[in-house]
Amino acid sequence: MNLFRTKSVEAFLEDLEKGPQLKRALGPLALISLGLGAIIGAGIFVITGHAAASYAGPAVAISFIISGIACALAGLAYAEFAAMVPVAGSAYTYAYATLGEFWAWFIAWNLVLEYMIAGATVAVGWSGYVVDLFKQFGIHLPSYLTSAPIDILTSEEKEKLIESGYSLSFLEKYLNLHFTGSYINLPAVLVILMVGLILLIGISESAFVNNIIVIVKATVLILFVILGFGKIDFSNWDPFIPPSTDKFGEFGWSGILRAAGVVFFAYIGFDAVSTAAQEAKNPQKDVPIGILGSLFISTLLYVAVSLVMTGVVHYSQLNVAAPIAVAVNAMGPQFAWLMLVVKIGAIAGLTSVILMTLLGQTRIFFAMARDGLLPDFFSKVHPKFKTPYISTIVVTLGAMLIAAIFPIGLLGELVSIGTLLAFSIVCIAVVILRIKRPDINRPFKIPFAFVIAPLGALGCILQMVFLPLDTWIRLAIWTIIGITIYFAYGYRHSKLNKPE
């Protein structure tokens, strides 16, 4: 039994020529737009205020720069691989070529956390914004159709139930979950269904829809920066770096670094560009441009938005779910119209994140089926639309089920640990392949690879270490399920599996 058999880069390229062909329709601008579609979403519209109020103050702008640099290190690793192995599959494909089949399966299983479950989680957030937007027009949707049937049971809630004499169920006692009385989060289900249909029709159509959404949300953020700049109260930036408290990570430079870890997740999604490598017109040149270009543009936007936000409103008032809305409100009644625009921009931003995460997941399953690790039907391409249609249907239905039942809080950190794990493995894989196969043509090469790639891996691993123990336990359970499926199906059906 050889768990660490590798599939050569040449074999991947050979499969690319003779296997099912996806439509090559994406140029560099489309790939940058895909990256921005995946990156700019819940992070900038929600997490910025929390990071500023709790950890960094106005210096959250510095945190975004630090975090952007850390992401760029991982982004360089993705760019080198995507140019060298321009096939669908992203980190899964890169691990297969360097670390072996078992690790490729392991990372692919965790990419389900980054893509499909993340897409479902963002859809739940999308539902909340839509419900709030309807309220603004006097339309109140029933909560039993717009919230999760299952939610987290906090320790305080559990203690109150026990004190009242209530007999806890298995779900409540051991899993800290409870039924809410709701039936389904219907808006979340419907937006995933809509996105799934767009993905089914084709990559050109998906890219067109994404381009429109990116223009909308970028316009909203730029509009906020331009209009808010004239309303900045510079006393809110004094001091720009608030003095550190007695606790490590609360303001000062330690707070800036902790905030960098928090806002790191505002950058999640740039790697979705590499999953579309097989649909790029000139992948060796265009995919690196797409990855690094989308990271650079999003960093500029994040820094500008955070500076205006903390300039218009004192950072202590920003620990809310909609910090940009708080800043708009502080700009004065003449900007009340901008509140509606911001909500529409947030909804647009979340929609494009759902689109890109589900797109990424379908291409991962497509690549795994091509290698025999999943049933062959996952790699079937629609004769008219040239999309992996069965993979798209399965991913859409799975995401709909998750979004219908579970709340954001239950899944958020699980998504984060899966993403960080993928980033760190890709950085390590670059170094391994540089040593094992220095002869391979690399159209794009990381400068100082033996320094930059390990630094990228180290940054991701350190952030994983500081995640809660519960998240590691859930990751362990998820991993056990994945390994079981690998030995039950993947290992036996792998196209590298030859009889002894």
Q: What CATH number should be reported for the domain holding residue 223?
A: 1.20.1740.10
**Is-contact 245 251, C-beta < 8 A?**
yes
Per-residue pLDDT at 499 exceeds 60: no
415 in a domain, yes or no?
A: yes
**Is-contact 124 406, C-beta < 8 A?**
yes
Separation CA 94–CA 100 (nearest Å): 9
176 in a domain, yes or no?
A: no
- Amino acid at position 329, single letter: N
Select, from the ranges 114-118, 173-177, 428-432, the one with the highest average predicted confidence (pLDDT): 428-432
Structure-block tokens of residue 469: 């123990």
pLDDT in tens, 380-404: 888 888 888 999 999 999 999 999 9
Please report how the helices 60-84 and 408-436 are oriented relative to each other, as an axis angle in degrees rounded to 10: 50
Q: Which residue has the higher pLDDT, 101 or 466?
A: 101
Task: Provide the pLDDT for residue 174.
Answer: 72
38 in a domain, yes or no?
A: yes
Q: What angle do CA 306, 310, 313 make, to 5 degrees?
A: 140
Percent of the chain residues topping a pLDDT of 90: 20
107 in a domain, yes or no?
A: yes
Structure-block tokens of residue 416: 């984060």
Helices (H), 19-59: 28-39, 42, 48-51
Give the count of alpha carbons within 13 A of 493, CB side only: 15
Structure-block tokens of residue 315: 């950072």
Q: Residue 96 is part of which domain span? A: 9-149+184-493
**Is-contact 35 295, C-beta < 8 A?**
yes
pLDDT in tens, 19-76: 666 666 778 888 888 888 778 876 777 678 878 888 888 999 998 998 888 888 888 8
Per-residue pLDDT at 117 exceeds 70: yes
175 in a domain, yes or no?
A: no
pLDDT in tens, 438-493: 888 887 788 899 999 999 999 888 877 766 677 788 888 889 999 999 999 999 99
Separation CA 291–CA 35 (nearest Å): 6
Q: What is the mean pLDDT of the chain?
A: 83
DSSP H or E stretch at residue 458: helix 449-465
270 in a domain, yes or no?
A: yes
- Amino acid at position 197, single letter: L
Neighbours of 255 (CB within 10 A): 27
Interacting residues of 126 by C-beta distance below 8 A, sequence separation 6+: 187, 188, 191, 347, 350, 351, 354
The structural domain count of the chain equals: 1
Separation CA 329–CA 175 (nearest Å): 40
167 in a domain, yes or no?
A: no
Task: Provide the pLDDT for residue 173.
Answer: 76
Task: Provide the pLDDT for residue 500.
Answer: 42
Separation CA 293–CA 27 (nearest Å): 13
192 in a domain, yes or no?
A: yes
Alpha-carbon dihedral 267, 270, 272, 278, rounded to 10 degrees: 180
Select, from the ranges 164-173, 270-279, 434-443, the one with the highest average predicted confidence (pLDDT): 434-443
